[in-house]
Every structure is written in C-alpha cells, then in structure tokens.
Amino acid sequence: MRNFRHILFVSSCALALMAVGSVGFAQTTTPPAATTDTTKTPAVTPPALPVLPAAPAPAQPDTKAPADDPSAADSAGSADVSVGEIPSVETEELTPDLAKKAIDGYSLVHDKYQDSPLEDYQDLQEFVDKDPKGKDFEKDIQTFGFKTVNDWNLAVTSVSVAYNNILDDQTADLKQQIEDIKKSTDLAQDMKDKTIKSLQNSIPSDNNHKVVEDLTKDPAYAEKIKLLESTEE
C-alpha cells in the first residue's frame, strides 16, 4: 500500500519517522566576490509521516555548486527552497480516546482506500472535494467522531510522531538540528521559524509519548498501531 505521507519537514510532514529524508537549503544571497562566505547551511532532516501532508513534498535540490564557479549564484538561486515548500508538521495533545479513534480511522483507510490516489492531492480535504470517493471517505472518518478529515489527519499524525519516536528516538538529533537552524545566517527568518516549528512538533510531548506507549501494550491496538510504522516507498 502507498504511504499517506507528510510531506516535513514538516512540516510535512513526507519521509521514514525515523528513516529520515534530507532537505538542503541554498544560501539566499550571493556573497561579494572578495569575501566569499563558505559557511554551510545545516541540513534539515524532518521525520517521515505515514499520512498525507498538508503541503506538497519539498524538492531535493543540489546545493553543492563550487564557491568559485561563476555560475554558482544562478545554480543556488534555482535550488532555493521557499517557505511554501517546507513541509509543515502539525500535532496536538492526545487523549487515549482520541488516539484510539485516530488509529481505528487509519486502519479503515488502510484497508478500504489503499488504491485511492490520496497522495495526488494537496491535502485530504482536496481529496474529499474532488475525488469520486472523497465523500465516502469523509463519511467514514466522521463515524469516528471527527468533524473533518483534516481533524483526523492531525490526530493520526500526532499518534504517528509519538509512535515512531518510541520505535526510534531521534529527539537529540532533532534538537541539535533546531539549534543549527537557529544559528544559521543563510536562511530567511520566516523559513527558519517554519522549519524550527516543524522540527519541534516532530518531538512528541511527554503526554503523547505515554498515551501512545500505553496503546502499544493494549491487546486491541498493539497490532493496529504497527500500520503507522514508517516505511520506504
């Protein structure tokens, strides 16, 4: 079955949480010839999520043009990543009931809509609005108590972030990336803010970690939750 990916980062959230994909950022300005800046922008490696992101997956630009190459500025410019291309990772605080409903919904989607082109749409609401199966999808999700498909997507993303962190804890690595981004002088502030937010949201709260960890020990959900394990396409 095709993964329903976020396209991140995050947020974007598209990616193995925690088999990570990299997003490189080119320098946003061309340094003066006499004072070429060779500082490297830190690579951002957001986790992969098994749900469709709210924004398209970012391109993987080649930003390693030689500093003394006269065409380097043009190459870097064409590889610049805009704020809109940075995957956005959004999460929320879970309760045991919300997490169970999110997993139940994912299990149904996994079985019933595995052949639907969910990844062809910018987000799940667009799938609902434009795909022939969209309205049925929406009704199925609403049976679990979610008002919209994006509400469900937010919940199941929160479960996925916590679950994959339990399987492979990359908290320290994500925190280091956040610090590297904060120190970077090559990124515009709005890009830094969005990237940092997505990386922060990729670290589950203590509450979400506990809620999901308890579900991995619940006989009714121990197998279902394994559907959220990040895998490569």
Q: Which two tokens stand for residue 220?
A: 């009714």
Please name the residues in contact with 70: beta carbons below 8 A apart, sequence gap of 6 or more. none
* Tens digits of residue pLDDT in 124-168: 999 999 999 999 999 999 999 999 999 999 999 999 999 999 999
HSE of 24, CA atoms in CB hemisphere, 13 A = 13
Q: Which two tokens stand for residue 101?
A: 């409903």
Report yes or no on whether pTM surpasses 0.85. no
Check pLDDT > 70 for residue 55: no
Cα separation, 144 vs 146, whole angstroms: 6
